[in-house]
Structure 1
Amino acid sequence: MSHVSSPPHGQSPLRTVQVLGGGSAGSSAHVRSLASGLVARGVRVTVCAPSEAERAYDFRGVGAVHVPVPRSSDPTSVTALRMACADADLVHAHGLHAAFRAALALSGRPVPFVVTWHSRAHADGARGHLLRLLERRVAKAASVVLGTTSDLVERARLRGARDARLAAIALPAPRAAEDDSGRPPSKARAELGATDRPLLMAVGMLDRYRGYETLLDAARAWRGLDPVPLLVVAGEGPLRPLMQRRIEDEQLPVRLVGRREDVAELIAAADLALLPGSWEARSVLAQEAFHARVPLVAADVPGIPELVGDAAELVPHGDADAFGEAVVRLLADPDRRELLREKGVRQAATWPSEDETVAQVLSVYDELTRPRPLS
């Protein structure tokens, strides 16, 4: 753990503003972890985020100031952001939309501006064109773009970033209040209805870019096993009614459990974790599965091979037959599952710690800011 550090003699503390759009759980947890580490190093941190993000992640609890800013680019939100950034030495935005709002708020002000791209945004047609324009605007406005995978770094460069760097993000340790339910895995399995059958876990927002159609197609492959494995999907989203209808119409061994606060516990209770697609550059599910020693079957999408190495079963994206076969094969091969568990632990040990992540970000801050004489 890092020691609290004071600014050098004759300098005032670095004042940073972290801008969060309320996006993914991964980016929100990262901002909380980053705020905690920066405050411990004597940095002043203001987090501009929607009120619901503060309620869920308690930025104030780690010593940051929270300024409620809705997830919107309307003039009121941009004005609130501009006021919050008025005396900042550096502004750091997380995610594309938060970065766009921050760029609007900083327009005309020579403040160092760091942007972290945590995920790949998806859109088609006119929305896809708008997305590319947003990415270009943000990439060109940023002093430094930090991409959480090499493909995001390359994407930032293609969009005109003058300085794009790889910055792997640590998976923050679970907060005790959220994670300590005290239930053993057997209790979690019983609650889900998987006491005497294999339990498969998938987690994430139920939208079209997560690969759930492929996953439901793949579920047909293990319908004939005895006992029949149960796939539990945790998450909410626009696809839920369609998925539920398919599950009922095709009698698929799948259960949708909605948004859960005990996801890490459910993953730890599973026999396999399944990741049919991901827009997160560094999948939280993949990281939690490795930490919990749960074998992973994942679609081979950008960012995943870089994250998991050879410690997961990777299958072609969108190939339901290959995905289903990989699940059936792993369930029948306890030696292979144990090998993947061991490889997963070794792979997780190569990921950066929270401390290393904070230190890397702070080195970028130091590079972009000049000594600040006391007034």
Structure 2
Amino acid sequence: MSPVSSHASHGQSPLRTVQVLGGGNAGSSAHVRSLAAGLVARGVRVTVCAPVEADRAYGFTAAGAAHVHVPRSSDPVSVAALRTACADADLVHAHGLHASFRAVLALSGRETPLVVTWHNHARAEGPRGHLLRMLERRVVRAAAVVLGTTSELVDRARHRGARDARLAAVAVPRPRFGYEHPERPPSKVRAELGAIARPLLIAVASLDAHRGHELLLDAARAWRLLDPVPLLVIAGEGPLRGTLQRRIEDEELPVRLLGRRDDVGELLAAADLALLPGSWEARSVLAQEALHARVPLVAVRTGSVPELVGEAAELVPPGDPEEFAAAVVRLLGDPGRCQALREEGAGQAATWPTEDETVAQVLSVYDELTRPVPFGRC
């Protein structure tokens, strides 16, 4: 049986927690939704402070949590709203650097324990990079515990001065309409995408810089010579959409930009390969979902990707579209290797923490920080 909060088990009033989320990328937002549901099920009161659009997309209230709209901004009005929301909290848990910084400002002068989870490595250069390092130091020195989703992030937090930094890899919740029981059969999805008699490749990422989309388009020039020509679909939205669409049209590339989708699980179930040309996420959501769905993955060997996938993916050097294209072509022509990757992927995914284990670990940290001091002890 899953553990419950020690507050509930000792007959005390329920533990009151506030989860602070910024704009939230897919991984951190899905984690907060999963965490909220798991904590509520264990007798913990949860309030999620996040922009209203995040609640619409991830359903924190549907998971049993209260929701307070707090904009991403660190202006005084937003900080004041967060401070009010945290007034009765026994513990505050902030996710991501900017949300954590707002929590530090909101909790100034209070003794409420702050737990911080770093989901990703914030990257910037020049003056912005210097500012990010200052924010990191401010946050980790104010936090009672810093949880890093990879060993690299744990080391980074310790280097910035964290008093207590621990590894806490998070589970990826299954998509609402997933690959295990899709509402639409894969054949129908492929027909809708125009990939009935051709291989279907999928990438999922916001259309931002450093996501590797340019590398994907470079690689697509090579596999358009195949017969039949594979179709690459990219699910995601962002500022580079216009630039990428012009390249696709000008170079007549076999690529479709699908925009924002809520059926990624079904897209994965229909795909022949999943592609990860770049990742700034500490634990790539697409990589985890692809392995869970038993879809062969081609990914760049960068950041924490090798630690995450082990031998269960085709890894290629970053920034090399020729090698990336070659790996895709090899897999499309080697059903045996694809089957081996499916089996290895399922085995690798089985080593990752479950949602239940993730919630249990976080709850143990909460209880450690809020456990009453026995009478007579200092």
Q: TM-score range by the shorter chain?
A: over 0.9
* Residues 85 and 175 of structure 1, relative CA distance in 2, 3 Å threshold: same
SS of the equivalent of 2:106 reads: helix
CA distance in 2, matches of 1:178, 1:265: 5
CA distance in 2, matches of 1:199, 1:83: 49
* Residues 3 and 123 of structure 1, relative CA distance in 2, 3 Å threshold: closer
- The equivalences for 1:1-375 within 5 A come to 2=2, 7-175=8-176, 182-371=183-372
Maintained 8 Å contact 1:122/1:209: no
Question: Displacement, 1:176?
Answer: 5.3
Question: Displacement, 1:3?
Answer: 7.1
* Residues 215 and 178 of structure 1, relative CA distance in 2, 3 Å threshold: closer
SS of the equivalent of 1:191 reads: helix
CA distance in 1, matches of 2:163, 2:284: 27
SS of the equivalent of 1:282 reads: coil
SS of the equivalent of 2:9 reads: coil
The farther-off stretch of 2-11 and 220-229 is 2-11
CA distance in 2, matches of 1:204, 1:17: 28
Question: Displacement, 1:366?
Answer: 1.2
CA distance in 2, matches of 1:25, 1:179: 20
SS of the equivalent of 1:297 reads: strand
Cα deviation code 1:155-193 (max 9, x no counterpart): 111222111111010111233599976210011111111
Code of the aligned partner of 1:69: V
Code of the aligned partner of 2:183: G
Maintained 8 Å contact 1:168/1:357: yes
Maintained 8 Å contact 1:198/1:229: yes
Structure 1 unaligned runs (5+)?
A: none
* Residues 238 and 148 of structure 1, relative CA distance in 2, 3 Å threshold: same
**TM-score scaled by structure 2?**
0.95
SS of the equivalent of 1:208 reads: coil
CA distance in 2, matches of 1:297, 1:89: 44
SS of the equivalent of 2:8 reads: coil
**TM-score scaled by structure 1?**
0.95
Cα deviation code 1:275-331 (max 9, x no counterpart): 001111111111111111100000111111111110000111111111111111111
Code of the aligned partner of 2:356: D
SS of the equivalent of 2:307 reads: helix
Question: Number of residue pairs matched?
Answer: 373
SS of the equivalent of 1:209 reads: coil
Code of the aligned partner of 1:7: A
* Residues 269 and 178 of structure 1, relative CA distance in 2, 3 Å threshold: closer
CA distance in 1, matches of 2:255, 2:176: 29
CA distance in 1, matches of 2:348, 2:372: 39
SS of the equivalent of 1:70 reads: coil
Code of the aligned partner of 1:2: S
Question: Displacement, 1:372?
Answer: 8.3
Maintained 8 Å contact 1:197/1:228: yes
* Residues 59 and 122 of structure 1, relative CA distance in 2, 3 Å threshold: same
* Residues 69 and 210 of structure 1, relative CA distance in 2, 3 Å threshold: same
CA distance in 1, matches of 2:330, 2:175: 32
Code of the aligned partner of 2:2: S
Cα deviation code 1:14-72 (max 9, x no counterpart): 11110011211111111111111111111111111111111112212222111111111
Maintained 8 Å contact 2:3/2:360: no
CA distance in 1, matches of 2:113, 2:323: 47
CA distance in 2, matches of 1:372, 1:243: 58
CA RMSD of aligned residues (A): 1.8
CA distance in 2, matches of 1:61, 1:224: 48
The farther-off stretch of 288-297 and 132-141 is 132-141
Maintained 8 Å contact 1:18/1:31: yes
Maintained 8 Å contact 1:2/1:40: no
SS of the equivalent of 1:7 reads: helix
SS of the equivalent of 2:210 reads: helix
* Residues 163 and 372 of structure 1, relative CA distance in 2, 3 Å threshold: closer
* Residues 179 and 64 of structure 1, relative CA distance in 2, 3 Å threshold: farther
CA distance in 2, matches of 1:90, 1:151: 26
CA distance in 2, matches of 1:288, 1:137: 34
Maintained 8 Å contact 1:12/1:372: no
